[in-house]
Structure 1
């Protein structure tokens, strides 16, 4: 209990000291309070001005953030638009690539058709050349045939009859024109 008594006395001394001002005169005490109040008000004004500055800075930053957010939203919209444009361009490019592939296929087909047509033209020219040669040969034979016919016509105009002792004609019997033409063709065929 001894400690309890000491602690009670200590508390009572503190209370008495506080009530009596611990020996500080009242004017000095008020002066210290006034000085502390002035310092407090000065600090409060500083803090209020700092708070005001920070609030204005915060408002400026909020405005910047709103502006940046609006720009970000605008940029997002532009990016979405560009992505859609890019997708459309990619789709159009794929379509054009398929058209190019179709055109290349058509070109290859046209080239093969052209080559086939050239081969056919060359073959037709060769056949034409062969036909022309045959024609020239037939023309030459026909002209020879006409000359032979003309020669036959002239020789048949003055027939000479040779008779033998018995009085019969030894020269061959006169041939008809059809038989003569046939014999001429046989002669031409053997040439």
Structure 2
């Protein structure tokens, strides 16, 4: 050990530990998904024998998997936001309030929409295994009850903030990532 200290001492090296790896990882993640440009992404292209040209590209489509459930341990929800590059941003939530199964599904959807807005997502495909919630949001079913109407209005207020949104009902087997995390929440 002493031999290494003598040899490396000639180069005036100083050891400095990295203390903020977690914070740096989050900052790198947010920079990687920076879609803060107003409505369109701009890319600089160089073409042979021409000047630089700005070309507008459409925003990529992100996929949001949501699931909520109630069991003996309480209520929970799961959100999995998937980028075009197949990066998964996962969140599991445990509710400290009484909720029905449909309430948990709406909470998952609302929180997923909020996360997508924070990430700067403009085009979103939402996938849920709750046929009732999907049909209520898409306008096929009527919302009954004051609590359900509040959830529906809140969801609709968030949806209009996106450029394009699609909500699809998927079988539970195709929503397995969200389903597994929801049980943790």
The verdict on a shared fold, with TM-score over 0.5 as the criterion, is no
| TM-score normalised by L of structure 1 | 0.19
Question: Which of structures 1 and 2 has the bigger CA Rg?
Answer: 1
Which of the pair is proportionally richer in helix?
1
Which of the pair is proportionally richer in strand?
2
